[in-house]
Structure 1
Amino acid sequence: MEVSTLDAYSTYLMALRWLHFVAGITWIGLLYFFNLVNVEFMKKLDGPTKGKVIPELMPRALWWFRWGAVVTVLIGIMYYMSVLKDEPNMGSAIGIWFGVVLVTYAVIYAAFVPTSGPLNKGPILAIVVGLVVVIMMGILIAMLGGPKVSSKSLSIALGGGLGVIMMLNVWGIIWPNQKRIIAWIAANAAQGTAIPPESAKLARQAFLASRANFYLSFPMLFFMGAASHYPWIGFIK
């Protein structure tokens, strides 16, 4: 809906968009920090140094990271619903969108569970996740698209779907695994408690999920930007 006058509803929409931007910058900024800076930095630290740095740095960073993801996605869904109210079949569109996205995440989550075999290799896992995401987007375009559907709503459906998957990766894999690893490292540094061998498996899962989120963020941001600035839907009509 185009807004030409300043009223309560337009202010509400602007507040949603502003909060969405702030939370999204916090979340994705930390995602890029973890992948582009932190991973390589941690490789250069010895055991005792990690025991001091990780328990201090990571809990705070991961707090902003995981809650930034929640706020970004929840406000994004609220904004998406405000866009859909001007679209045909709003109720069924929301149901289809949630269903397709959640099934997609279930498949992706299953791909992250093994930490041995072909799926433990980054390039192979990337191909699998990429194919699953492309199939998801194709299904969403086929089921939600149509001559009366706006480019804006379809762009948000695709970008928002990727955002939901990324948030579920944060809360389903990255944070639970990192929480246990941080506790083990802190106990090792303070009391000399041995770090369980299981930590390597959990660290690998968290790394792969974080790296997947890193790559998924690029198409997600493209579709979010395209919602208001690039009417790409004309190419598929």
Structure 2
Amino acid sequence: MAGLLSNLRNTMIVSFLLALVIVVGYLMHHEASPDAIFWQAVFRWLHTLFGIMWIGLLYYFNFVQIRKMPEIPAELKPAVSKYIAPEALFWFRWAALLTWVAGVILAYTRGYLVEAITLGATEGFQVPQHTFIGLGMWLATVMFFNVWHFIWPAQKIALGIKEGTPEQKAAAARKAMLFSRINTLLSVPMLVTMTMTQTIFG
């Protein structure tokens, strides 16, 4: 068991195999063959899984790394900037993409993608569920856009992955921090819409 748990790849393979066994169990006890409801359940699971990784890393950056970096002695900072941050940013940006894609697919399979994108305007704003979930989707889309078009490009300069002068690196680090803080600000209301809409409206 220690050999399994000491290797992250093997741990995750076993975790996904166990998850797939459970997914198959749901399929066997579902009244119909894989239908829209079943696939909605699958994509809701994936959307939640990727979302936890995305927001978890966002909170790690903002609650831990950004706050504590000024306190780290200069000779130790490369351990974070050269090893930890690039790896965390890899999982961060791809989790953001997969969360967004799974969310769009989920909205499509549930039949309200257009209504949500328009915040319910196509229905004369008569279906509050679509307005609320659409608001959450737009907040998440802004956050996703920030990750790929502002945070990651700036971090590449700040971390030395892409060349830049010391001044450019400092400006890029500040830019990445500010857009990361914007995402942190948007994350809490976004999560309200994602969780409460399903509970209140079903």
TM-score (norm 1): 0.65
AA paired with 1:213? Answer: N
Q: Structure 2 regions of 5+ residues with no counterpart?
A: 1-29
Aligned to 1:160: 137
Taking only aligned residues, the RMSD between alpha carbons, in angstroms, comes to 2.6
Aligned to 2:89: 62
Aligned to 2:188: 218
Fraction of identical pairs, as percent: 35
Separation (CA, whole Å) in 2 of partners of 1:80 and 1:195: 44
Q: Structure 1 regions of 5+ residues with no counterpart?
A: 101-139, 188-193, 232-237
CA separation of 1:196 and 1:159: change in aligned 2, threshold 3 A = same
Greater relative contact order (Cα < 8 A, sep 6+): 1
Aligned to 2:59: 32
**What are the superposed Cα offsets for residues 43-85 of structure 1, whole Å, 9 maximum, x if unpaired?**
1112221123211001110011000000000110111112235
Aligned to 1:230: 200
Separation (CA, whole Å) in 1 of partners of 2:47 and 2:148: 19
Divergent runs of 4+, >4 A: 141-145
**What are the superposed Cα offsets for residues 106-149 of structure 1, whole Å, 9 maximum, x if unpaired?**
xxxxxxxxxxxxxxxxxxxxxxxxxxxxxxxxxx35565533x3
Aligned to 1:8: 34
2:46 to 6, 16, 19: 19
Equivalent position SS for 2:159: helix
Aligned to 1:146: 125
CA contact (8 A) 1:24 1:72 kept: yes
Alpha-carbon distance, 1:201 to partner: 1.2
Separation (CA, whole Å) in 2 of partners of 1:5 and 1:159: 31
Alpha-carbon distance, 1:31 to partner: 0.5
